[in-house]
Amino acid sequence: MTAAGRAAYERRLEEPDGADGQTARLRREAEERLRSDAPAWRFFSSQPQSCQRAALGWVASAKRAETRERRLSQLVADSVAGRTIRPLTRP
At residue 48, the pLDDT reads 93
Contacts of 78 (CB under 8 A, 6+ apart): 84, 85, 86
Q: Work out the mean pLDDT of the chain and round it to a whole number.
A: 85
Q: What is the pLDDT of residues 21-77, one digit of tens each?
A: 677 787 888 889 999 999 999 999 999 999 998 998 899 888 898 999 999 999 999
Pair 85, 40: CB distance under 8 Å: no
Residue 18 has pLDDT above 60, yes or no: no
At residue 13, the pLDDT reads 58
Q: How far is CA 38 from the centre of its chain?
A: 18
Task: Give the separation between CA 56 and CA 87, rounded to whole angstroms.
Answer: 12
Q: What is the pLDDT of residues 67-86, one digit of tens each?
A: 999 999 999 999 999 999 98
